[in-house]
Chains A and B, each alone.
Chain A
Amino acid sequence: MADAPTGARDLAPVLLFSAFVVATCGLVYELLAGTLASYLLGDSVTQFSTVIGTYLFAMGIGAWLSRYVTANELAVFVRTEILIAAIGGSSAALLFLLFDRVGDFRLPLYGLVLIIGTLVGLEIPLLMRILKDRLEFGDLVSKVLTFDYIGALAASLLFPLVLVPHLGLIRTGFLFGLANVGVALAMLWMLPQASRLRGEMAAGILVAIALVAGLFSAERLQRLAEVAAYQAPIIHAVSTPYQRIVLTRRNDDVRLFLNGNLQFSSRDEYRYHEALVHPALGRIAHPANVLILGGGDGLAAREVLKYPGVRSITLVDLDPAMTRLFTDAPMLAALNGNALRSPKLIIVNADAFVWLRANQRRFGAVIVDFPDPTNFSIGKLYTLSLYRELARAIAPGGIAVVQSTSPLVAPNAYWTVATTLEAAGLTTRGYHAYVPSFGEWGFILAAHGAIADAVALPPGLRFLTPRTAALAFDFPPDMARRPTPVNRLDNQALVRAFDAEWSRVEG
Chain B
Amino acid sequence: MLTRRSLLATPALAVPGCSFLGALPGTLSGADMARGHLLRTPFAAGTPAETRRTKIAIIGGGIAGLSAAFTLAEAGHRDFRLFELEDSAGGNSRAGRNAVSAYPLGAHYLPIPNPESSGVRHFLERIGTITGWQGGKPVFDPYQIVADPEERILHLGRWQEGLIPAIVPDADRADLAAFFAAMDRFRDHKTSDGRRAFAIPMDLSSRDPDLRALDALSFTAWLDARGWSTPTLRAHLRYCTRDEYGTEPGEVSAWAGIHYFAARRGEAANCAGDAVLTWPAGNGYLAAAMARRVAGHIEPGIVVAAVRTSGDGAQIDALDVANRRRIRILADAAIIALPRFVAAHVVAGASAKGFGYSPWVVANVTADRLPAGQGAKLAWDNVSATSDSLGYVVATHQGLAAVPGPTVLTWYTALSDMTPATARTLMTDRPLADWQRIVHDDLMAMNPDLAGAIRRIDVWRWGHAMVRPVPGFFFGGARENAAKSAPPLFNAHSDLSGLSIFEEAHFRGSTAAEAAMTHLGFAHVSVHTA
Binding site for B on A (CB under 8 A): 100-101, 239-244, 318, 351-354, 357, 370-371, 375-378, 380-381, 383-385, 488-492
Contact = CB atoms under 8 A, between A and B. Distances in A.
A242 B405 CA distance: 8
Contacts of A239: 3-5
Given A377-B401, A385-B143, A241 B1 contact: yes
B236 to A, nearest CB: 23
A243 B149 CA distance: 23
Contacts of B270: 488
Contacts, number: 78
Interface string B1-21: 111110011000000000000
B147 A243 contact: no
A352 B403 CA distance: 11
Contacts of B401: 351, 353-354, 377
Contacts of B5: 100-101, 239
B148 interface: yes
Given A240-B4, A241-B3, A376-B377, A492 B148 contact: yes
A101 B9 contact: yes
Contacts of B378: 376
Contact of A384 (B142, B275, B403): B142
Give the size range of B's interface with the partner. Answer: 20 to 34
A184 to B, nearest CB: 30
Contact of B145 (A244, A357, A375, A490): A490
10 contacts: A318-B402, A351-B400, A353-B400, A370-B402, A376-B147, A376-B149, A377-B402, A385-B143, A491-B271, A492-B148
Given A385-B142, A488-B271, A490-B146, A380 B402 contact: yes
Contacts of B403: 241-243, 318, 351, 377
A377 B8 CA distance: 20
Nearest to B2: A241
Contacts of A371: 402
A371 B275 CA distance: 28
B272 interface: yes
B48 interface: no
A353 B404 CA distance: 13
Nearest to A379: B148
A354 B400 CA distance: 7
Nearest to B8: A101
State the main secondary structure of chain A at its contact with B.
loop
A381 B142 contact: no
A101 B146 CA distance: 36
A100 B7 CA distance: 11
Interface in B480-521: none
B266 to A, nearest CB: 13
Contacts of A242: 403
A239 B1 CA distance: 12
Nearest to B270: A488
Interface string B247-279: 000000000000000000000001110010000
State the main secondary structure of chain B at its contact with A.
loop
Interface of B: 1-5, 8-9, 142-143, 145-150, 270-272, 275, 377-378, 400-405
Given A242-B403, A354-B400, A376-B148, 16 more contacts: A100-B5, A100-B8, A239-B5, A244-B4, A318-B403, A351-B401, A351-B402, A353-B400, A353-B401, A370-B402, A376-B377, A377-B403, A378-B402, A488-B142, A489-B148, A490-B271
Contacts of B150: 490
A163 to B, nearest CB: 28
A244 B3 CA distance: 10
Contacts of B9: 101
A490 B142 contact: yes
B402 A492 contact: no
B405 A241 contact: yes
Contacts of B1: 241
Contacts of B146: 490
B367 to A, nearest CB: 16
A85 to B, nearest CB: 24
Nearest to A370: B402
Nearest to A371: B402
A353 B271 CA distance: 21
A492 B376 CA distance: 14
A243 B405 CA distance: 11
Nearest to B370: A377
A245 to B, nearest CB: 10
Contacts of A351: 400-403
B147 A380 contact: yes
Contacts of B404: 377
Given A380-B147, A489-B148, A352 B405 contact: no
- Most chain A beta-carbon neighbours within 10 Å: one of B3, B271, B402: B402
A489 B4 contact: no
Nearest to B7: A239
A183 to B, nearest CB: 32
- Most chain A beta-carbon neighbours within 10 Å: one of B5, B378, B400: B400
Contact of B402 (A244, A352, A357, A489): A352
Contacts of A492: 147-149
A318 B404 CA distance: 12
B148 A240 contact: no
A243 B4 contact: yes
Contacts of A101: 5, 8-9
B139 to A, nearest CB: 12
Contact of A380 (B272, B275, B377, B400): B400
Contacts of B377: 375-376
B275 to A, nearest CB: 6
Contacts of A243: 4, 403
Nearest to B404: A377
A357 B2 contact: no
